[in-house]
């Protein structure tokens, strides 16, 4: 759906050119939830803003459904933007307008609907985001999560095919974040809406993204299916982002453990099978779990644990082969 081809953008600050993003190429497929993660200042905000040309790249092409949006005329760009929703970290609602009027605003801009049609659409959207009774309230009377729901309803008003999310949950508490993420995932499934989101929180990527790109100082350093990137991060920056919630490769040194250490990665149905026990019995090796996490990446169960192999028969090659047979990835860690 989106093909980003070698785009760059720089800003001039006090007469000095500062690159924001450099030579980024990406593909986003229709219907997927694509996450872009990076620390602040990595250029993710600039990148997502190029997708509706709030930021115009200095060079490169961005094709959406086959047509290059950087060459659109003024009118075409307005029409494209009306079909591309966007939500923001600070919601950006108009405080002088009621919830209903805020949602109505993009409908008015489109100029294609009668009053009655707009009223009906506003009610429909309010139901969708579960704010049925709040139509005549002002944004100041709503909680952060409710404001973001209004933002989502407003972004969806003109039936967009693409939704851009700029740190949409960063100003929300963890519980509200979960409910907003569930809503986004629900919308993605029900309407086949493509979502591109940027975040600095790995948990957001883990919860709803299909694929992820990692940005560091304006450069794309890693990209792939979320489970791969999360469980086997290649780039140092990715490891740093993942580390907060995943076991690291330096566990052995950190815990001061001797003896062969292995990191086992379970993905999918194997996560809930008693593989550790069966291999322990088959090889006559004891396993001491020293660290680990079991959870879900989007809907896929996964587990990643670090074990210490105990016993005379603890031969790394045999152990790795045994786990390999069960489709469990096994890496020997330096001890």
Partner 1 sequence: MNASTFNLFASLDWSDIGMATLETLTMVGGSLLFTVLLGLPLGVVLFLTGPRQPLEHARLYAALSLLVNLIRSTPFVILLIILIPVTVTLIGTSIGVPGAIPPLVIGATPFFARLVENVLREVDRGIIEASQAMGATLPQIVFGALLPETFPGLLAAITVTAITLVSYAAMSGVIGGGGLGDLAIRFGYQRFQSDVMFVTVAVLLLLVQALQVFGDRLVQRFSHK
Contact status: 54 vs partner 1 (CB under 8 A)? yes
> Which residues are within 8 A (CB) of 13 and not within 5 positions of it... i.e. 6 or more apart?
none
94 binds partner 1, rule: CB under 8 A = yes
Query: Please, which residues have CB within 8 angstroms of residue 317's CB and are 6 or more apart in sequence?
Result: none
Residues 222-251 close enough to bind partner 1 by CB under 8 A = none
Residue 262 to residue 320: CA distance in whole angstroms = 9
Size of the site for partner 1 (CB under 8 A): 29
- Please tell me whether residue 9 binds partner 1 under the rule CB under 8 A: no
Site for partner 1 in 114-143 (CB under 8 A): 138-140
Q: 134 or 207: whose CB is closer to partner 1?
A: 134
Taking CB under 8 A as the binding criterion, the range among 10-18, 108-116, 191-199, 292-300 that sits at the site for partner 1 is 108-116
Whether 190 contacts 179, CB under 8 Å:
no
The distance of closest approach from Cβ of residue 66 to partner 1 in the complex, given in angstroms and rounded to an integer, is 20
* Interface with partner 1, residue 92, by CB under 8 A: yes
Q: Provide the pairing of β-strand 211-216 with 194-199.
A: unpaired
Identified binder of partner 1 from the candidate list 84, 146, 148, 238, rule CB under 8 A: 84
Q: Are 125 and 156 in contact (CB under 8 A)?
A: yes
Interface residue with partner 1, options 90, 159, 189, 296 (CB under 8 A): 90
Pair 269, 301: CB distance under 8 Å: yes
Which residue stretch of 103-111, 268-276, 297-305, 307-315 sits at the interface with partner 1 (rule: CB under 8 A)?
A: 103-111
Which listed residue (57, 106, 233, 303) binds partner 1 by CB under 8 A? 106
Longest dimension (CA), the chain: 80
Q: What is the distance between the alpha carbons of residues 130 and 109, in angstroms, rounded to a whole number?
A: 24
Residue 110 binds to partner 1 (criterion: CB under 8 A): yes
**Quick check: 153 and 125 in contact, CB under 8 A?**
yes
Instruction: At 93, list the tokens.
Output: 């609602």
Binding residues (CB under 8 A) for partner 1: these are 52, 54, 77-82, 84, 86, 88, 90-97, 105-106, 108-110, 138-140, 154, 164
């Amino acid at each position: 759906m989106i093909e980003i081809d070698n785009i760059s953008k720089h800003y001039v600050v006090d007469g000095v050119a500062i690159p924001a993003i450099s030579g980024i190429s990406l593909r986003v497929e229709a219907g997927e939830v694509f996450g872009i993660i990076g620390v602040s200042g990595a250029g993710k905000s600039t990148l997502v803003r190029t997708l509706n040309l709030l930021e115009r790249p200095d060079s490169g092409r961005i094709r959406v459904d086959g047509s290059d949006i950087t060459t659109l005329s003024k009118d075409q760009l307005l029409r494209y933007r009306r079909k591309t929703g966007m939500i923001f970290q600070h919601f950006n609602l108009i405080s002088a307008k009621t919830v209903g009027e805020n949602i109505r605003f993009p409908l008015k801009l489109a100029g294609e609907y009668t009053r009655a049609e707009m009223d009906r659409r506003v009610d429909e959207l309010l139901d969708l985001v579960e704010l049925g009774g709040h139509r005549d309230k002002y944004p100041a009377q709503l909680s952060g999560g409710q404001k973001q729901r209004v933002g989502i309803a407003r972004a969806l008003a003109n039936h967009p095919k693409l939704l851009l999310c700029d740190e949409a949950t960063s100003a929300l508490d963890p519980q509200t974040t979960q409910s907003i993420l569930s809503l986004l995932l629900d919308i993605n499934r029900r309407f086949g809406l493509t979502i591109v989101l940027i975040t600095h929180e790995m948990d957001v990527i883990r919860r709803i993204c299909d694929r992820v790109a990692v940005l560091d100082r304006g450069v794309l350093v890693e990209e792939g299916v979320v489970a791969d990137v999360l469980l086997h991060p290649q780039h140092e920056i990715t490891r740093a982002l993942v580390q907060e919630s995943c076991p690291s490769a330096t566990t052995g040194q950190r815990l001061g453990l001797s003896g062969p250490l292995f990191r086992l990665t379970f993905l999918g149905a194997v996560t809930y099978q008693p593989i550790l026990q069966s291999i322990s019995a088959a090889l006559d090796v004891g396993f001491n779990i020293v660290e680990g996490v079991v959870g879900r990446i989007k809907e896929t169960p996964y587990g990643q644990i670090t074990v210490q192999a105990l016993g005379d028969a603890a031969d790394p090659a045999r152990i790795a082969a045994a786990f390999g047979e069960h489709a469990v990835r096994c890496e020997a860690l330096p001890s």
